[in-house]
Chain A
Amino acid sequence: MLETFTPAVCGSRKRQIVGQSLFAVAAVVTSAMLGLLLGLLGSMLGAEQAVLGAAALALVAAAREAGLIRFSIPQARRQVPEHWRFELPLPVWATGYGAGLGAGFFTYQPISTFWVACAGALALAEPVPAALCVSLYGAGRALMVVWPRRRADDPTAAVERLTSRRGTLLRANVIALVACGILLAVAPAAGAGVTQIAQNALDPTVDRGNLAFATASGDVVVRPASGPDRTYNGAAEPSLSGPYLAYRDSAGIRVIRWADGTEVRRIASPNVSKPALAWPLIAFVRRAPPYDKLFVRNLVTGRVTLYATVRLPTDLGRPSLRHGRLAWHSATRKESKIMVVTLSSGARRTMAITRIGLLGNPSIYRTRVVWADARFGVTFLKQGWVTGSRRVVLARINSRTVSYWTTALASNAAYMTRWVMPTVRTDLFRRTP
């Protein structure tokens, strides 16, 4: 390969420089494109949680390179097609060689580091940073073509010198891989602590270690802290509170004991939806065109209190009721906001308000509130405190087509629905500290 980029093969010193330049540009651009695709794929797959996988892969690769374990790595045991340089003009074959080697998949890989870099780019789940990172691989390929010229007239001599230091290089590679593995494992990378917990699921609700969610097929699944899942057909919009589960069905809102399915209460009206249960209180939205109204009913005493009224098509979102506080969102064409009211005092607080984003689906746990904050090209899962103005970003998605939807909050974790808009696919994720 190196003998290819010599004045003798290229035709002149000037043509050699042109060939090397084209090779370098093609290698860097192709590897950057590879990184871009991997980052894009990672963002589409939600591969942020694969960071730990990439760390493990780096450590396994380090063990392989140190000779501790043995396994073959996937690769095409081919070199660049030599006949190109006889048949094609210099700009074409130089660019082709660069592109072929920059892509990485189509050539011999003496060490496994390339695959670790690919896994890291996938787990990064952000196209541009991934492109920048993987482009260094192409830069390395280009360097190996350009560098020998500086030290010797015969490029093969430079390669031989490098080969004589193979042991040192391999040891340096092992150290670099171990460092990568450790840094990936401990770094608070984007999405670290975010794990997928259910596919084709939405509307999470959590209480005392028990989780429930709706499925895309129109069921509600209760996943107890111990024991098998329980499924309720023809149900949606679940809300857990201790031994009780509220959900919406075709006849209204049903409250059951989720352990055995016994019905406890029912709000029989096709116009009620979005239940939020904190036994014996239940919050729900009643549609009475042209209004949507948010009520809280005491299922023991029957007392009903109105907390919000909006004129359609204003969106009055899924409420959250816990520990004596009620949270909900409203979104008009002018603004969207997250509201919290303390039931005992009636004190209201606007947790967040924006005229340029879309805030939605809050969940409350004691004094903490989480909500989805969608902006153009990015969606945040934010957390705030009822008692203060501090706000933190728990998770984010950089995408125009993937967003967070409904949320749930527990003492040690936040749950969120991740929504891929074009396919209307929803999956549940958990974010732990």
Chain B
Amino acid sequence: MPQPDGTRLDRQAERLSAKLAESQTRKSFLGRLGAAALAIAGGSAVAAAVKPDEADAFHLCGHIWTTGSCPSPYPPLARIDRKGYPLHPSSGRPIDNLGRIVDSAGYALDGNGNRLLGPDGAVLAPGPRTRVCEDWTREVKGLRDLRIQGSWYRCCGGQIRKLTDCCSFSSRRINGDASLVGYCWGGRRVYCVMYYDTGLAC
């Protein structure tokens, strides 16, 4: 019986991994299950359950696949809060769409934490602060069917990072090439990715 050569093996492996990535996988199920568990229970119990590995990245920690980050104020660091709104990548504080740190009422703050004044000396009115997937990506890329769906977890900087797929029915992802199912479901596929630092130690 002839031995399969390396090239043939490579081709089969490639086909298999593509098929796995394009289909509903166990990863999808686990990802959704993990998200639900995190939402319900929270805390260290979940931190232990998801058991993330330390992960290196292509363009952000925890992301070892090639899909690009969603458009955001600090590209490519599309850091979001639990509801999908942008956060400052390093400080984790809420930012508006112009990248300015804002308070809970949406007013932009200066370096001392005071509300930013306009040229006329009046406090600047709050600027838009909208969701990275549903609003930013929709407007920048012209897609109307974007949803946050699947997610997975990695250990980054000593805490659990939740990496989230922004999913669309588009067969192309933000990189411009063919998209994969990834952790999306219901016919959607991964368009771009974001991340949420949970603050839970890993």
| A contact set with B: CB distance below 8 Å | 202-203, 214, 216, 236-237, 313-315, 331-336, 354-358, 374-377, 400, 405-406, 417, 419, 421, 424, 426
Contacts and interface: CB of A to CB of B under 8 A. Distances in A.
A203 B118 CA distance: 12
B99 A355 contact: no
Contact of B97 (A202, A203, A357, A421): A357
A262 B119 CA distance: 29
B119 A355 contact: no
A331 B128 contact: yes
Which one of B125, B138, B139 has the greatest number of beta carbons of chain A within 10 Å?
Answer: B125
Contacts of A314: 125
A334 B126 CA distance: 10
A8 B120 CA distance: 68
Contact of B119 (A315, A332, A356, A424): A424
A356 B139 contact: yes
Given A331-B125, A331-B127, A354 B139 contact: yes
B68 interface: no
29 contacts: A202-B119, A202-B120, A203-B120, A216-B119, A313-B105, A313-B125, A313-B126, A315-B126, A331-B125, A333-B106, A334-B130, A335-B130, A336-B127, A336-B128, A354-B139, A355-B97, A356-B71, A356-B97, A356-B128, A356-B130, A357-B98, A357-B128, A358-B98, A374-B98, A374-B127, A376-B97, A376-B99, A377-B99, A405-B118
Contacts of B117: 424
A54 to B, nearest CB: 29
B125 A356 contact: no
B140 A356 contact: yes
Nearest to A420: B119
B141 to A, nearest CB: 11
Chain B facing A: main interface SS: loop
A287 B14 CA distance: 65
Contact of A355 (B106, B116, B126, B128): B128
A203 B120 CA distance: 9
A160 to B, nearest CB: 52
A376 B73 contact: yes
B152 interface: no
Interface in B109-166: 116-120, 125-130, 135-136, 138-140
A415 B140 CA distance: 28
Given A331-B126, A354-B139, 9 more contacts: A313-B125, A331-B128, A333-B128, A334-B128, A356-B128, A356-B130, A374-B127, A376-B98, A421-B116
A356 B136 contact: yes
Interface of B: 71, 73-74, 96-99, 105-107, 116-120, 125-130, 135-136, 138-140
Nearest to B122: A273
Contact of B139 (A355, A358, A374, A426): A355
Nearest to A359: B128
Contacts of A236: 120
Nearest to B106: A333
Contacts of A426: 119
Contacts of B128: 331-336, 354-358
Contacts of B99: 376-377, 400
Contacts of B98: 357-358, 374-376
A426 B119 CA distance: 7
Contacts of B74: 376
A136 B105 CA distance: 49
A419 B106 CA distance: 21
Contacts of A405: 118-119
A336 B127 CA distance: 8
Contacts of B140: 356
The 5 A-B pairs with the shortest beta carbon distances in the complex, nearest first, are A315-B125, A376-B73, A426-B119, A355-B135, A376-B99
Which one of A358, A374, A426 has the greatest number of beta carbons of chain B within 10 Å?
Answer: A358
A358 B127 contact: yes
A93 B36 CA distance: 61
A419 B119 contact: yes
Nearest to B125: A315
Contacts of B139: 354-356
A405 B138 CA distance: 27
Nearest to A274: B120
B119 A333 contact: no
Nearest to B111: A422
Contacts of B116: 421
A248 to B, nearest CB: 10
A37 B18 CA distance: 47
A202 B117 CA distance: 14
